[in-house]
């Protein structure tokens, strides 16, 4: 009986890992689609702070990709926590 539970748990973990892989691929694709002006935080580290203190709001495609990236990041975080909990309890 314990072997059957272990096999089922491993299949669930594998499913979550595949889901995490798919989410991370989508995050990479959306990151490549995003406009460079929406990534001003990284340019501040590089010294290129042209628009760091400007009052520009994200609109249109920039806002949509930003929302998608944020929600996929939260989804990936939750999936990773679930994988950790399931693998530690089995």
CB 79 within 8 A of CB 23: yes
pLDDT, residue 52, reads: 52
Express each pLDDT in 39-65 by its tens digit: 555 555 555 555 555 556 667 888 888
Single pTM value for the model: 0.70
Neighbouring residues of 73: CB distance < 8 A, sequence distance ≥ 6? 27
- With a cut of 60, say whether residue 11 has pLDDT above it: yes
Express each pLDDT in 60-90 by its tens digit: 888 888 889 999 999 999 999 999 998 888 7
């Amino acid at each position: 009986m314990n072997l059957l539970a272990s096999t089922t748990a491993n299949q669930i973990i594998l499913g979550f890992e595949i889901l995490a892989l798919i989410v991370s691929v989508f995050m990479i694709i959306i990151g490549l689609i995003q406009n460079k002006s929406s990534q001003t935080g990284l340019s501040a580290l590089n010294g290129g702070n042209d628009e760091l203190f400007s009052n520009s709001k994200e609109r249109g495609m920039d806002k949509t990709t930003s929302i998608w990236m944020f929600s996929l990041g939260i989804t990936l975080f939750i999936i990773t926590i679930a994988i950790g909990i399931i693998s530690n309890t089995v």
